[in-house]
Amino acid sequence: MKLRNIFATLLVLAIAASTAKADEGMWLLNLIGKNYKQMKAQGFRLKPEDVYSVNKSSLKDAIVVFGGYCTGEIVSDKGLVFTNHHCGYESIQKHSTVANDYLKDGFWAQSYDEEIPTPDLYVSILQEIADVTDEVLNGTDFDKEKIDANIEKITERYKKKYTSEFHRIEIKPFFEGNSYFVSVYLDYKDVRMVGTPPDAIGKFGGDTDNWIWPRHTCDFSVFRIYTAPDGSPAKYSATNVPLKPKHHLPVSTKGYKKGDFAMVMGFPGTTLRYSTSYEIKNDMLENEYRAKIRGVRQEVLHADMEASDAIRIKYATKFAHSSNYWKKSIEANKSLKGLNTVGDKERQERKFENWYNQNAELKAEYKDALSQIKKVCDDDRDNAKIFLYVNECFFGGMELLMHGYSIINFVLDPEDMTKEEFIKEAHDFYKDYNVTTDFKASIAMAKLYLEDIPEAYHPDFLKNTTVDAAITKMFTSPLVTKDGFDKFIENPARETLLEDPIVKNFMSVLNIYRELASTYRANKDALTAARRVYTKGVNEMNIGSNPYPDANFTERLTYGTVQDYIVPNYQGKKNVDAVKNSPKGTLLEYYTTTNGVLEKEIPGDYEFDVPAKLKTLIQNKDFGRYADKDGTLHTCFLTDNDITGGNSGSPVIDGRGNLIGLAFDGNSESMCSDWIFNPSLQRCINVDIRYVLFIIEKYGECPRIINELTFAK
């Protein structure tokens, strides 16, 4: 039997023989039958075909990729979509001005005509997922060019079945390239903004509370999918109509209790569960560098945002994107160190070595995998640091530098877009750009780079001069302003562009990047090959452990229960909402209430200010039908579902297929979850759907959204 077929057989046997804890795992929808028995035992009341079916409507038809980086769910028969506030944040920011500050004030469309078209935003719905491992790997011996050729053939075959220009076909590796699956999506490109709470509600707690439990954030926003009159996907048109979906999620206001079944469906981005101790050590260093660099830049941005509403609006999305992974990097390292994840991985590696050493055939196949991974990690450590600093300080930290790159691309290779499309893209850049802010940030980034990176990797434009002088010279370019860009683009001469200080500076950074990239690619290819062998061996060793592939932004299902957790050495505030003493430490209860909103209130503080209207509603207990049985209004709750970035906005679904909340975060104690699953600590933080509906109805006064929903009996 060929190796790939042996691996596939082992995988099926392992899943069938599973005794793994059900809470762990990000499961492919088309393999749900393998998990069905456990799901049913925990309280799942639907059938596998109710979750995933190609031939009839199922839950998968209500789950969407939102914007290419988050998840959303269809909640009405008119294409209404719920997702997180932080997922819709970029669109909310784009539509905001000082006169119409939707970030500060919120927005509620009271009619279809008031729903705001959102260019560049799209959602995608999965049509089919299938195993194509044999076709992809057939005759390749894992040669990349041969694999790519087979993928192209399969893609062409699927294009004959899915013929719309809005169909998108992706074939991705799973289990580090030991398996391959094809996913077919239908992209909808007319998506309009319907409603959003203000930042004071949708981002309540800000960076201080990010990744922390207890939470009181009402992290949601509302959009709508539009189609051509015949129901097919279409670009924006005034004649388009709301989508009539195959399925939408009913909403439950019944609530939940500890131990209730909970399922999350969505598109988790990246996990690294098969990583070795050597890789994690490098990842921790990168987390440290990333947090340091972003922290420096964010100080500059935050100061300017605090001083000006116009700058606050321009930089809201940029700051949010940066700060989210700044905080995650910090909390991940705390968790990795605190739970000794490296030590756990080292024990797994010794177990692996002991296993293959018991059999000559196994030893021949697997003995070099770990040593090869270690060698690549050791060789790559310094290179990876410089590579990260180049990306974070220059490409991610200097807006003007990257804008110059986009102009170079268009002028020298204009085939990807028309001149009109490029001008629109450039104007979008200037709309959300502040020269003074970028100037100060660029100086800070350049100084940090020179301090932390060896002189051999300093770009030419920062040599034999001061940082202030070098950055000042870059900002003399006419491309700094929209007017200067418009004048240049009328007749974009190559010679003029190549002499521009922005472009010259970019090219000097690019030279360093290219030098690093060749080594980086070689190391990555070597690591990929070694990881494929190691992953195959680990799953062969753990034959009954129910292996699941790492997340790779394909649709997954994770199931578990509503749960609290205990922290032995809790460092947060005691005797507040959802925090209780217990004999084993501090009990963090599985839900929070609006009592905690008022406990956290700091008037005038941008993270903890409570809007007067919301405060009055809470004080008057004006919760309507959304109150729990005890009269409180739940804000957020915990489940032990296995999620990661990309799951933001995912629906939390009860055992009967009803929506009970939106997943939006993980807890700090388990921020090592991308690398290892800790069942006693890992929790998924969700906003209670009743709090969402309360904000829409009572605070936003937008009953039309409520009236569209289907409420579970």
Q: Which residues are catalytic?
A: 86, 219, 648
What is the phi/psi pair of residue 125, to 5°? -120, 130
Sign of torsion over alpha carbons 19, 21, 23, 27: negative
Check: CB of residue 231 under 8 Å from CB of residue 595: no
Coil, helix or strand for 140?
A: coil
Cis peptide before 703 (omega within 30 of 0): no
Amino acid in position 376:
V
Measured distance CA(544)–CA(525) in Å, rounded: 30
Classified as helix, coil or strand, 469 is helix
CA 403, distance to chain mean position in Å, is 24
| C-alpha closest to that of 104 among 88, 117, 91, 92 | 92
**3-16 and 501-541 are packed helices; what angle lies between their axes, rounded to 10 degrees?**
70
Q: How many other CB atoms are found less than 10 A from the CB of residue 482? A: 14
Residue 219 in 3-state DSSP?
A: coil
Pairing of strands 651-653, 659-666: antiparallel
- Residues forming a β-bridge with 183: 129, 170
Contacts of 479 (CB under 8 A, 6+ apart): 400, 403, 404, 407, 485, 488, 500, 502
Give 519-542 as a DSSP string.
HHHHHHHHHHHHHHHHHHHHHHHT
The Cβ of residue 48 has, within 10 Å, a number of other Cβ atoms equal to: 19
Query: Which of 246, 240, 201 has its CA nearest to residue 224?
Result: 240
Separation in Å, CA 88 to CA 98, 311, 622:
19, 19, 28
d(CA 326, CA 323): 5
* Residue tagged 């030098």 (tokens): 515
Q: How many degrees, rounded to 5, is the angle at CA 452 between CA 296 and CA 275?
A: 85
Per residue, the 3-state secondary structure of 344-404, as one string, reads HHHHHHHHHHHHHCCCHHHHHHHCCHHHHHHHHHHHHHHHHHHHHHHHHHHHCCCHHHHHH
H/E element, 330 = helix 309-338
Q: Round to whole Å and give the CA distance between 7 and 2.
A: 9
Which amino acid, one-letter code, is at 422?
F
CA-based max dimension of the chain: 74
Burial label for 274, CB within 10 Å (0-12, 13-18, 19+), is buried
188 with 225: CB under 8 angstroms? Answer: yes
- As given in the structure block, the two tokens for residue 661 are 């909340």
Q: Hey, what are 174's tokens?
A: 């799973």
Element (H, E) at 299: helix 277-307
CB-based contacts of 47: which residues, under 8 Å, 6+ apart? none
- Residues in Cβ contact with 221 at an 8 Å cutoff, skipping those fewer than 6 apart: 82, 83, 84, 85, 87, 88, 89, 91, 92, 193, 195, 196, 197, 202
Give the number of other Cβ atoms within 10 Å of residue 98's Cβ.
11
